[in-house]
């Protein structure tokens, strides 16, 4: 079987299994259950959260829903560090595997206008563009990572830009949501 199809079917199976489990066991799968599970198996829960964030880049799902779920379960500072590590690992996966996984076709067809605009505007100012793009919440960070990969921007420069932009945004999300929940 084609590795791309296998990865897609595994991803689809995971999503379908999760949704099915939620509908079959709605009383067991709720926020209190997740909090209890996280308290009892803290490091395992953090590891699963990290793996979900890392794999998220393969699905093009934004990290914000996972971040907001994490706010309900984990300590804010701990959440920040795990979230940033997950985003950086996801960005690394997108950077190195974008062509293999077909992201080049996906981004070129779905965001073709943005891809061309970024490619024209990024020359000689890669880091500020990556930081700004990563900070702006309404655009997919994975898109700028893909463009950086296709333009052969060094991976460390790309990851540094993602870290700088996403860390400010994530800190704001985590700490403001935590404050709102305490009201």
Provide the residue ranges of all domains of the chain, joining segments of one domain with +: 31-182
Residues in the chain: 183
Q: Which residue has the higher pLDDT, 179 or 3?
A: 179
- pTM (2 d.p.): 0.75
Q: What is the mean pLDDT of residues 90-98?
A: 88
Q: What is the mean pLDDT of residues 120-145?
A: 85
Q: Which long-range contacts (CB under 8 A, 24 or more apart) does 70-78 make?
A: 70/174, 71/173, 71/174, 71/177, 71/178, 71/181, 72/31, 72/34, 72/35, 72/181, 73/31, 73/34, 73/35, 73/38, 73/45, 73/49, 74/38, 74/45, 74/46, 74/49, 76/174, 76/175, 76/178, 78/46
Structure confidence by residue, pLDDT tens digits, 149-175 = 888 889 999 999 999 999 999 999 999
Q: What is the mean pLDDT of residues 125-141?
A: 87
pLDDT at 85: 96
- % of the chain with per-residue pLDDT over 70: 90
pLDDT at 141: 87
Average pLDDT, the chain: 83
Cα 136 from chain centre: 14
User: Does residue 25 carry a pLDDT above 90?
Assistant: no
Structure confidence by residue, pLDDT tens digits, 69-78 = 888 889 999 9
């Amino acid at each position: 079987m084609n590795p791309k199809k296998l990865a897609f079917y595994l991803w689809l199976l995971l999503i379908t299994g999760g949704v099915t489990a939620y509908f079959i066991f709605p009383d067991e799968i709720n926020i209190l259950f997740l909090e209890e599970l996280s308290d009892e198996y803290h490091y395992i829960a953090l590891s699963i959260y990290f793996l979900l964030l890392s794999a998220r880049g393969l699905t093009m799902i934004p990290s914000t829903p996972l971040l907001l779920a994490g706010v309900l379960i984990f300590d804010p500072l701990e959440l920040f560090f795990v979230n940033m590590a997950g985003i950086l690992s996801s960005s690394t996966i997108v950077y190195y595997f974008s062509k293999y996984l077909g992201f080049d076709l996906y981004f070129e067809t779905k965001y073709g206008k943005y891809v061309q605009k970024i490619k024209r505007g990024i020359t000689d100012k890669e880091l500020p563009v990556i930081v700004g793009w990563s900070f702006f919440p309404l655009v997919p960070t994975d898109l700028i990572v893909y463009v950086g990969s296709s333009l052969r921007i060094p991976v460390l420069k790309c990851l540094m830009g993602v870290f700088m932009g996403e860390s400010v945004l994530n800190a704001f999300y985590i700490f403001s949501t935590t404050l709102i929940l305490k009201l």
